[in-house]
Each structure stands twice: as structure tokens, then as C-alpha cells.
Amino acid sequence: MTTASQVNTMQVYQIVIRATPQQIWDAITQPEFTRQYFHGARVNTTAEAGTSIRYYSPDGDLWGDDKVLESDPPHRLVVTWRSLWDADLAAEPARRVTWLIEGQERVPACSRSHMISSTTRPRRPTRSAARAGCSF
């Protein structure tokens, strides 16, 4: 539940990839693939619900220390997400990131992947509201 002083935000990305659902799952959950596709970051996770999912920089710094909320390999992975590599980003509330992976029957060698990122955070006053003395 959100209040008048909170706002929900959501970003949805949809891509079609020439890969099977299992190959996409491995690209999200296996360090040998995340290094190639995720700015050199190495993931450390079993991808089981309730376990941790951590991301390490190429130098070994902790970039993300999150939790797997839901897991249905190779079709659905839901995790918390906070970027620890930047102090301002680390101070923000955790996001919820959902990967939905679907095989494509019309093109068997391709899969569609959705990444949904959402959060509830404090509402920031707009300039016009701030000038009028309003906080929303």
C-alpha cells in the first residue's frame, strides 16, 4: 500500500533474443555470462527463493547484495535490487526486479524476455507545489 507521500515507479524492458529460455536464465544467474553482459560484474547466487544474489565488480568490490524473492527456472526470477557501487544509489530503497522469460513457438530459437523494475519511494515535491507550499 502506498500513501499520498509515496509514489510507485515501474520500468518495463522487453527484448527478443536468439536464445532458449535456459540460455537466458544462465546469462542472468551464471558468473561466466554476467561478466560478458553486465559491465564485467560477476554474479554469485543459487537463484533459489530466499537465497542471496550478489554482484561483484571485476576488482572484487561488492556491487549488489540482494535477495531472490521468487524463482521458477528458467522462466521467472524476482529479486531485490540496490546498486551499491554508488553512495547515492545505495541510499535509495531497494527495487524489485522481475525477469520473465518466454520461449517463442513461431521462432523456436528465440525467446522473449521482460525485465520489470519497480519501487515505492517517497514522493518528491514538484517545483510548482513547493512554491505553493504544498508537499505533494
- 26: pLDDT confidence band, cut at 50, 70 and 90? very high
Distance CA 102, CA 114 (A): 9
Distance CA 124, CA 74 (A): 38
pTM (two decimals) = 0.77
Q: Look at residue 127 and tell me if it is in a domain.
A: no
pLDDT at 61: 95
Q: Select from 25, 15, 9, 27 the least CA-distant residue to 94.
A: 9
CATH classification at residue 99:
3.30.530.20
Full domain range(s) for residue 43:
6-119
Contacts of 116 (CB under 8 A, 6+ apart): 10, 11, 12, 13, 97, 98, 100
pLDDT tens, residue by residue, 7-19? 678 888 888 888 8
pLDDT tens, residue by residue, 80-132? 999 998 999 899 888 899 999 988 766 666 787 877 787 765 555 444 444 44
Q: Look at residue 126 and tell me if it is in a domain.
A: no
